[in-house]
Amino acid sequence: MIGKQKTEVTDELFRSRLTSIINTKHPLCQIASKINWQEVEENFKEYYCEFGRPSVPVRVMVSILILKQMYRESDETVVERWSENPYWQYFSGVEYFQTKPPFDPSDFVHFRKRVGEEGSEKLLELTIKLHGKSAEEKEVLVDTTVQEKNITFPTDVKLQKKVIDKCLKIAEENGIKLRQSYRREIKQHIQNQRWRNHPKNKKKAIHSAKRIKVIAGRLVRELDRKLSEEKKQELSKLFSIFKRLLAQKKEDKDKLYSLHEPQTYCVAKGKEHKQYEFGNKVSVVMTKTSGIIVGIKSLAKNEYDGHTLPGALEQVERLTGRRPTAAIVDKGYQGSQQIGGTEIIRAKKLSRSSSQYERQKLRKRMRRRAAIEPIISHLKHDFGMLRNYLKGAIGDSINCILAAVAFNLKKLYNRIKNFLLDFICFMYLFKKKNFILHCC
């Protein structure tokens, strides 16, 4: 059941109103006044049932989720900092300063599952509207990047060792006596993997790697025989992952790179410092001049960049209400010249007969296209897309969308802050000039 704010608030003797202890011209207060919170509550009402225990108010959940992403906090630390920061509490719609956390950090998990990708897109649409006409540009910049998953660098030996550990844990939990646990032997084989490329160790390391795979297969088959039918049905998904992992080979496509994140895939982006990245590909769309993110989409498969354009442009049309007339892309988007009325502009060699004006126009567009690269870097390093800690494919989508939400709000925050600083400087110089004229 959706929670409700208290409508009648009485003055309390020993509690301070937030408006009496903060500066209401602070950028965060200005943003809070610009957001239509009633519309936000109406949009998120459909994700709650009509009956049951009242939930945490929607504004509190949404605002703290945004603050978490803006300031790159974890679920636990953002709740702790909220109880210390009066500006964050004002942003959340609280009237009196509170010293207790608003809810348990685990509620974030349930809220993200409840709203999903659709609810996250509603927040992105809200931040786009806050920028007004700046977000209504006709031309956009499009590029893809990789959002890495929170997994270790995957090797066959590491994954097979995890299969062995999982099998031993399942056997212990269900009281199954295994023919052999192989604990001592496994420990020695793992030690043999150190410096495996050294000529003296290579032969021993290869033998140990084969032996680890054999042991993993034995334990999986033994558990399959000894577990009850009810338990086997409960663990069927996990055992299918085990068997898929043990059956895959070096040259196979769609390999498994993680046991707890099986949807993770390998992306080769041609980076000199990082040849392979393990996670999911993300398509980013931003306005050409103002640099506002108007579309961001997580891709379930490692698709060719040119095939991701239709979905990215449809999302922009859905969030902004208008379709871009032109999309400026790099050479990785080879293919169609036009998609659904949107012209695709990419770097190309112009013929000698083309005019100097056409050359300069294309050069300016391509230089501006490079502006999306630092934006992607900010999304990764400042707003949590560098490493995704949320679980599953739905976690991939939510994390990248919330990063874009935080980026757009931070951009608005900086614009308000710079405007206030410029106004203060102007008033100071104006008064100083009047004082000098008066003295003369």
The two structure tokens encoding residue 278: 């393990």
Residue 154 has φ and ψ, to the nearest 5°, of -80, 125
Q: Which of 352, 320, 315 is nearest to 135 (CA)?
A: 320
The two structure tokens encoding residue 59: 């504004």
Write the burial class of residue 145 (CB in 10 Å: 0-12 exposed, 13-18 middle, 19+ buried): buried
d(CA 361, CA 287): 17
User: Which H helix or E strand runs over 427?
Assistant: helix 392-439
User: What is the CA 366 to chain-centroid distance, rounded?
Assistant: 27
Helix, strand and coil content of the chain, in percent to the nearest 5, comes to: 55, 10, 35
What single letter denotes the amino acid at residue 37? Answer: W
DSSP for 167-217 reads HHHHHHHTT---S---HHHHHHHHHTTTTTTSTTTHHHHHHHHHHHHHHHH
> What region, left, alpha or beta, does residue 121 occupy, with left being phi > 0 and alpha being psi -120 to 50 degrees?
alpha
User: Dihedral angle at the C-alpha atoms of 420, 423, 424, 425, nearest 10 degrees?
Assistant: 120
d(CA 110, CA 93): 21
What single letter denotes the amino acid at residue 268? Answer: A
> What region, left, alpha or beta, does residue 432 occupy, with left being phi > 0 and alpha being psi -120 to 50 degrees?
alpha
- Confirm if 280 and 263 have CB atoms less than 8 A apart: yes
**In Å, what is the CA distance from 86 to each residue of 5, 23, 90, 116, 373?**
18, 10, 6, 29, 35
d(CA 242, CA 17): 57
Q: What is the pLDDT of residue 225?
A: 94
d(CA 265, CA 208): 27
DSSP letter at 11?
Answer: -
One of 3.30.420.10, 3.90.1150.10, 3.40.50.1100, 3.40.50.300 is the CATH number of 138-152+265-405, namely 3.30.420.10
Q: What is the pLDDT of residue 253?
A: 86
What single letter denotes the amino acid at residue 402? Answer: L
d(CA 35, CA 56): 19
DSSP letter at 24?
Answer: T
- Ranges of each domain in the chain: 138-152+265-405, 156-247
Q: What is the pLDDT of residue 439?
A: 57
The two structure tokens encoding residue 281: 């590909």
Q: Which residues pair with 284 in a beta bridge?
A: 143, 296
Structure confidence by residue, pLDDT tens digits, 195-225: 888 999 999 999 999 999 999 999 999 999 9
Write out residues in the chain with pLDDT < 70, as ranges.
1, 3-14, 350-353, 420-440
What single letter denotes the amino acid at residue 353? Answer: S
- Confirm if 192 and 204 have CB atoms less than 8 A apart: yes
d(CA 222, CA 88): 55
Q: Which of 293, 289, 281, 254 is nearest to 120 (CA)?
A: 293
The two structure tokens encoding residue 142: 């499009």
User: What is the CA 58 to chain-centroid distance, rounded?
Assistant: 21
d(CA 411, CA 240): 46
